[in-house]
Amino acid sequence: AQSVTQLGSHVSVSEGALVLLRCNYSSSVPPYLFWYVQYPNQGLQLLLKYTSAATLVKGINGFEAEFKKSETSFHLTKPSAHMSDAAEYFCAVIHNTDKLIFGTGTRLQVFP
Amino acid sequence: DAEITQSPRHKITETGRQVTLACHQTWNHNNMFWYRQDLGHGLRLIHYSYGVQDTNKGEVSDGYSVSRSNTEDLPLTLESAASSQTSVYFCASSVGLAGPSSSYEQYFGPGTRLTVT
């Protein structure tokens, strides 16, 4: 069965520093993987998605993620954090064609 | 612009009452989903629908029901509200298998915060 694990429920970085949010997946078939962002009191917004095309996926707001099959990972990165990046981030994998299985989320704090 | 809306945005109810949360999408999507979000659990799937008259149970469906009488709406009903159902509820939709493979993307509503006292 498909699943995702997000390492670290909280990550804190300084403004301008590298952002790295970790996601490892478990899947018996080639996965479709997603990163969503949730700003306070809002719904989830798609950041980027991997659908078996290029392994390096670029998303909105300067984020990108690299699919590494050998490591079963899909970590989210951004070279330089901005205060507006403070939010909760969810990794998700497709399950049984149309259902998403979400990780437990990582809350990103950005300090000035 | 197409969108997905939820109402009410906030609801306080008493234990034992029946509550219905509305979800309406104008994307003309086949698939609709209901999730609950709780601290430490991420989002968990309650019910989902692949089209009109189709409904399916998710991983946390006990105490909840849905019905799909048209493409746009998937109301979620709590038959007899319990304190354990205090949560934030999100509705989502996606194109479904009728669309291109990249249509697995789900679009989310703004959420309903439900408190059961």
Predicted confidence (pLDDT) per residue in A63-100, tens digit: 999 999 889 999 999 999 999 999 999 999 986 667 88
Nearest chain B Cα distance for residue A58, angstroms: 15
**Which element (helix H / strand E) includes B4?**
strand B4-7
- Token reading at B82: 């319990």
Predicted confidence (pLDDT) per residue in B32-54, tens digit: 999 999 988 889 999 999 999 99
Q: Does A31 touch chain B (CB under 8 A)?
A: no
pLDDT at site B96: 75
Residues of B in contact with A46 (CB under 8 A): 105-107
To the nearest whole number, what is the mean pLDDT of chain B? 92
A101 beta partners: A93
Categorize the per-residue pLDDT at A15 as very low, low, confident or very high, splitting at 50, 70 and 90.
very high
Categorize the per-residue pLDDT at A57 as very low, low, confident or very high, splitting at 50, 70 and 90.
very high
Closest-CA residue in chain B for A106?
B42
When pLDDT is averaged across residues B57-61 and rounded to a whole number, the result is: 94
pLDDT at site B99: 54
Give percent above pLDDT 70 in chain B: 94
Closest C-alpha to A110, from A7, A2, A21: A21
- Token reading at B83: 């304190």
- Please name the member of A42, A94, A104 whose beta carbon is closest to the beta carbon of B42: A104
* Strand ranges, E, within chain A: 3-7, 10-14, 19-26, 33-38, 44-50, 56-58, 64-68, 73-78, 87-95, 99-102, 106-111
Interface touch B109/A43, C-beta < 8 Å: yes
